[in-house]
A and B are shown apart, each in its own frame.
Chain A
Amino acid sequence: MSATLRAPEPADTSQPSPAGAKGGSLAEKVLRLREFSIGAALVLLILATWLVNPSFLDDQGIKDLLLNASILVLLATGQSVVVLTRNIDLSVGSVVGLTAFACGSFVSGTDHSAVTVLLLGIALGTVCGLVSGALVSFGRVPALVVTLGMLYVIQGLDHAWAHGEQINAANVPDAVLTLGSGSVLGIPYLPILSAVVLAATAYFLRAYGSGRELYAIGSNPEAARLAGIPIRRRVLTAYAFSGAVAGLAGALWLARFGTVVADAANGWELTVVSAVVVGGIAITGGVGTVWGAALGALLLTTIGSALVVLKVSSFWEQAITGALLLAAISTDRVVRGRTTRALRKRSRQ
């Protein structure tokens, strides 16, 4: 028994390649390609629409586009962080609804400042996110189920509270409404806020250890455990962040529309997930960037706006979104399959 030949098979990295092969950069190119292709599709769509109807890109057109996209971009940013850890947060739509209504009730007839409203929204959203996150990370129950349950609970609370009433713009202090309609240097506040949150999140995910650990958890949870990453705490934080961002989005919803009914943002959770996935974040975690997710959100919003301008029935919007989502994930899958096969062949020949 002086020699045995046994050894481990690799986990999910089973494509052998010679040392030093630059194959990995190929896979990276594919990823870059994704953000590039979404961006290109966006530009093409905007150009085509503009050619048909130049008013699409006049001052008001651009402003509308940015305003429409900003809340979805925010939500997609929060959702990305959760999806990167191989989880999902379906409760975001209901959190937006709840915080929009709560903030509305809080400020109605008062003269609270916009900052107070934003802080209230963020605090309320964080609480919702922490509950979901605690159930997922410490309760170890499937994220989809828990956040689906949270969706019901939060939605129910929201409706029970609203009881058919609505918040009227007339009662909302001007300071708050200005946040939704005002602008600086011609750029509305809302997209500026979204862009700041987006850039900060992107920077955090790249530049901070805990940000990279979110990728590690989604990429290989078992290896993350062995590397001593505090998985539960990170996942909890991801949910708290997603909740906080949804809460912020709720406060902005109030600022933008003034009039809020209980089912504001009802059903948005799936649109948000679509945006994230279209933007190249793998639903199985570990891959993608928030920039991509934001581009996805921008693309989905632009399609909606473009249809109006192009005088295509808006009934097509949803169908196109769905088809786009399916096309995006299918392409990803096929491209990745090809890349893997190519790497494998190259290594043995």
Chain B
Amino acid sequence: MSKTAPAGADPAPVLALKGVSKSFGSVRALRDISLELRAGESHALAGENGAGKSTLIKTLAGVHRPEAGTVLLDGEPAVFHGPADARDAGIAVIYQEPTLFADLSIAENIFMGRQPRRTLGRIDHAAVHAATGALMERLGVDLDPGRTARGLSIADQQIVEIAKALSFDARVLIMDEPTAALTGSETARLFSVVETLRTEGAAVLFISHRLGEIFDLCRHVTTLRDGQLVASEPLEGLTEDELVRRMVGRDLGELYPKQEARPGGTALTVRRLTREGVFRDVSFDVREGEIVALAGLVGAGRSEVAQAVFGVDRADAGEVRVNGQALRAGSPTAAMRAGLALVPEDRRQLGLVMDASIERNIGLTGLRQLRTRGLVRRAGERARASDWALRLSLKYGRLSDPVGFLSGGNQQKVVLAKWLATEPSVLIVDEPTRGIDVGTKAEVHRLLSSLAADGLAVLMISSDLPEVLGMADRVLVMHEGRLVAEIPRAQADEESVMAAATGRAGSRGEAA
């Protein structure tokens, strides 16, 4: 990159992408992306789930190598053969999911691969320990450098990751949603550390779903949609609505086609459900024809409640009833037979068998129904799959293709098909639109809405506030393992839900 690069007083970019493309199989994750990170500047990367942000980050981190285009380091083309190359170039990445070694100590986690050495190349354990202590002090946290990483909370794990970045004076700090699991004060502390690094001359790339944070922290924003660059512009003068429109590609009004609910009898009853150390005394009802949202911060125990209700986790105490019939604890099979269905959050690990075909996945919940004299009817299995593929307008090549070949949105449709085919009376969906494209997202919303209109009871866990507010008839809010608020649709807004989720709300029933 020559001196003809950007006009103005901007310093030359420390790290840049130029015309980068990357595909996985037939899926093009990044198409012709360019991006410039400058010293002393915070840059935001915006885009919906699945827009290609993670792939972009992994390209910068040396995990992926681009098929086309170049990575420029200080204006010179650079090829990273692996994450070590990127790290040696001063690039620190804090991933969405902390990548710690659970069996090793915090100090070892921070200095793995580049421990200070003594004579003969031996690790200077004392120096490692001391340096870690100093880092913790700089971050203002009280973590024992010698304890193992196993058992650390997500926030603490995030702290360790940041300490790792600090430890080698990163010139480029890339953060993929670092604040998602943090409380307000933890976030503030993180931001002050990042600000310090930035003023000391580090380039920062920041991803967050909290648009407010983007506006607070960053000067420049690059927006991706479906793997393509939509815009790269200063944040100054941009409104949140404009940014959202760039991310989504249309006005929000088209989403959330919620139909009026006419709730019937109680379908799901949960009473004083408790799992020691995870959640406690959770009680609620879901009626037929109603969509109830379960909101709260990550780690509040929402998914855990859903999994205990469905029986994949065993509750320590409490009762679950489906249509009046009490469920045996710890048995998903019993829950299924009673008419319960759970679409889990992590569809790759929990929702689908990725290597198995579409028809096998959809058939997996119906092995009893598909049986004649003990044998599975293949024709029946295929009919079930093609029937549901049609109803959910699934896009696929052949039903015998592995689901791993499908896009995220279509995979989610397969999970929904797999469970709707069991004809449940209560459907629990955990983050139903996470990581899927906007078009499919709207389809899923329409589907949930019409299912509810047909009398299905829906319990929806979502961290996407607009989704919660747009879809739910009632909003239940969890905070630190307890149900702290129940807010009817009319009173539910961002303020009230966030207040309850962060523990600022009063008691149950009264929205702050």
Contacts and interface: CB of A to CB of B under 8 A. Distances in A.
Interface of A: 1-13, 15-25, 27-28, 206-209, 212-213, 215-216, 218-220, 222-230, 286-287, 340-341, 343-349
A13 B104 CA distance: 12
B385 interface: no
Contacts, number: 221
A6 B102 contact: no
Contact of A10 (B104, B157, B303): B157
A24 B96 contact: no
A207 B299 contact: no
A127 B448 CA distance: 62
B25 interface: no
A208 B122 CA distance: 5
Interface centre among B88, B93, B209, by most chain A C-beta atoms within 10 angstroms, is B209
B498 A3 contact: yes
A215 B104 contact: yes
Contact of A2 (B96, B98, B142, B240): B240
B147 A23 contact: yes
Contact of A24 (B117, B149, B240, B346): B149
Interface stretch (B32-40, B65-73, B281-289, B459-467): B459-467
Given A8-B96, A16-B153, A287-B103, A209 B113 contact: yes
B434 interface: yes
A65 B61 CA distance: 54
B480 interface: yes
Contacts of B295: 5
Interface stretch (B77-85, B323-331, B353-361, B403-411): B77-85
Contacts of A340: 151
A347 B151 CA distance: 10
A343 B463 contact: no
Nearest to B159: A19
Report the contact-size class of chain B (Cβ under 8 Å from the partner).
35 or more
Given A4-B210, A9-B303, A15 B151 contact: yes
B148 A223 contact: no
B443 interface: no
B181 interface: yes
Interface in B92-123: 93, 95-106, 108, 112-115, 117, 121-123
Going nearest first, the 10 A-B pairs with the smallest beta carbon separation are A7-B180, A228-B84, A24-B147, A6-B463, A223-B99, A7-B298, A344-B277, A20-B142, A5-B463, A4-B209
B498 to A, nearest CB: 6
Contacts of A228: 62, 82-88, 113
A21 B105 CA distance: 14
B152 A216 contact: no
A25 B149 CA distance: 10
B56 to A, nearest CB: 16
Contacts of B434: 6
